[in-house]
Amino acid sequence: MKFPALTDPTVLAADLRAARARANHITADLDGERLLGPSLAIVNPPLWEIGHVAWFHEFWCLRHRQDNEPAPSIQPGADTLYDSAKVAHDTRWHLPLPDLRQTRDYAADVLERVLHRLEREAENPALQYFVRLATLHEDMHAEAFHYTRQTLGYADPFPVENSAGTTPASTPARGDAEFTGGRCTLGAMDDGRFVFDNEKWAHEIEVAPFRMARTAVSNADYRAFVDAGGYAQRAWWSEAGWAWRTQTGLDAPHRWLRQNKTWHLHWFDQTLPLPDDQPIMHVNWHEAQAYCRFANRRLPAAAEWEFAAANESAGTGNRHYPWGAASPSAARANLEGRGPAAVDALPDGDSAGGCRQLIGNVWEWTADVFNPYPGFVADPYQEYSQPWFGTHMELRGGSFATPRRLIRNTWRNFYMPERNDIFAGFRSCAID
């Protein structure tokens, strides 16, 4: 494959250390029974996942060879324990895993070996590529650790003092932004930067004119649907969505709780009053679709979402982020471990067309099935995208738990439509 342009190795090393520090922070207090936790289809046992991340680093940065015959691992039996492509999910709770100290020692040993190799081979483009891949892979698992703690009711790893707060901006964003559409590009430009295989490559498409909400749907917006009995009315739901709702028996988002006629929110190990101005979160694709039908709206296509995020006001040019080329800052995007912010917050991150928080706060469901772009070719880590095409739905934008270095306008996330454990919400488009 063609590797990205060489990056400053000190930046790669610093990001590698930062990704490990973040993951270690989120998992620092996990011990005893919580190292395995309950066997659920939507989570991994943390002890296994910590080891898997270390194995991934070692496999791609230290063991990978061009003939696809990997060098031996420093951890005996590592491939039979931690290769997620070969170790069935429901068996991971029953493997002879090393204990926590041994697992952390393995992870620390691998990290030091990778850093030493990067120092020795600073101009090796293949090594640089795999170091970046391993760093971003750990970032994704750190976010998974984060929402796993929410799923299992463990304490918030980033307490309230680190929250972005709920105060709306002095320039509230209301209504829809209008986009003229036209010819545009979808996907990442081949400009030498690291991107994942499912972002490759930018290709021309036609986007019809559309109107997109300037903000994500808020808890207050969604509560109107719930209070109107939306979960009990078959008319708002697709066939698959109604089957899911019937099976679960839910009459509201699964982390909402009604107490004394007032809605509250299960937030990690606490129950808090529902913050009206924050984005609806922990709703799945079916719930997002049902709300849109109730509101006489629709989910945006992924191409519309990217058009709104990437195009200049004149409809030409592709921005790396909604606000331009500058890296995400705390004033522009709610990323890296803070709690959700009000949907009106952070106007400095507005897109050229006036949409707010397209990056950060909550992942946003789109209407599209996750599928490859024309001419798709899998990168060396072939299990990243290809196995999930055609079955998962596409999300965009990142959440408050997403590291800054991971996200950009072209980044594509993907989950099954029934997943409501992730930090995901949505925004809507007008039906013209």
pLDDT of 321 above 70 = yes
Single-letter code of the amino acid located at 419: R
Q: What is the average per-residue pLDDT within 158-175? A: 64
9-157 and 160-432 share one CATH topology? Answer: no
Give the pLDDT score at 163: 47
For residue range 47-92, list pLDDT tens digits in order: 999 999 999 999 999 999 877 789 999 999 999 999 999 999 999 9
Q: What is the average per-residue pLDDT within 214-226? A: 98
What single-letter DSSP state applies at residue 169? P
For residue range 370-392, list pLDDT tens digits in order: 999 999 999 999 999 999 999 99
Q: What is the average per-residue pLDDT within 156-171? A: 63
**What's the CATH number for 9-157?**
1.20.120
Compute the distance between CA of residue 232 and CA of residue 252 in angstroms, rounded to an integer.
10
* Pair 339, 405: CB distance under 8 Å: no
Residue 317 pLDDT level (bands cut at 50, 70, 90): low
Phi-psi region of 23 (alpha: psi -120 to 50; beta: other; left: phi over 0): alpha
The residue ranges of every structural domain in the chain are 9-157, 160-432
Compute the distance between CA of residue 234 and CA of residue 252 in angstroms, rounded to an integer.
14
Mapped onto helix, strand or coil, the DSSP state of residue 329 is coil
Give the pLDDT score at 164: 43
Give the pLDDT score at 338: 76
pLDDT of 167 above 80 = no
Among 246-255, 313-322, 325-334, where is mean pLDDT lowest? 313-322
Give the pLDDT score at 318: 85
Phi-psi region of 136 (alpha: psi -120 to 50; beta: other; left: phi over 0): alpha
What single-letter DSSP state applies at residue 63? I
Q: What is the average per-residue pLDDT within 35-55? A: 97
Residue 166 pLDDT level (bands cut at 50, 70, 90): very low
pLDDT of 405 above 50 = yes
pLDDT of 160 above 80 = no
What's the mean per-residue pLDDT of the chain? Answer: 95
Q: What is the average per-residue pLDDT within 108-130? A: 97
For residue range 347-371, list pLDDT tens digits in order: 999 999 999 999 999 999 999 999 9
Give the pLDDT score at 133: 98
Residue 132 pLDDT level (bands cut at 50, 70, 90): very high
Alpha helices in 300-350 (DSSP H): 302-310
Give the pLDDT score at 303: 97
For residue range 259-297, list pLDDT tens digits in order: 988 999 999 999 999 999 999 999 999 999 999 999 999
Q: What is the average per-residue pLDDT within 120-138? A: 97
**What superfamily does domain 160-432 belong to in CATH?**
paralog of FGE (formylglycine-generating enzyme) (3.90.1580.10)
Mapped onto helix, strand or coil, the DSSP state of residue 7 is coil
Give the pLDDT score at 316: 56
pLDDT of 315 above 60 = no
Compute the distance between CA of residue 340 and CA of residue 337 in angstroms, rounded to an integer.
9
The strand ranges marked E within 260-360 are: 262-267, 270-273, 297-298
Neighbours of 95 (CB within 10 A): 16
User: Comparing C-alpha atoms, which of 255, 227, 304 is closest to residue 425?
Assistant: 255
For residue range 293-306, list pLDDT tens digits in order: 999 999 999 999 99
- 224, two tokens: 């109107």
Give the pLDDT score at 68: 76
Compute the distance between CA of residue 375 and CA of residue 358 in angstroms, rounded to an integer.
27
* Pair 53, 107: CB distance under 8 Å: yes
Single-letter code of the amino acid located at 182: G
φ, ψ for residue 366, nearest 5 deg:
-115, 175
Compute the distance between CA of residue 229 and CA of residue 240 in angstroms, rounded to an integer.
19
Neighbours of 373 (CB within 10 A): 17
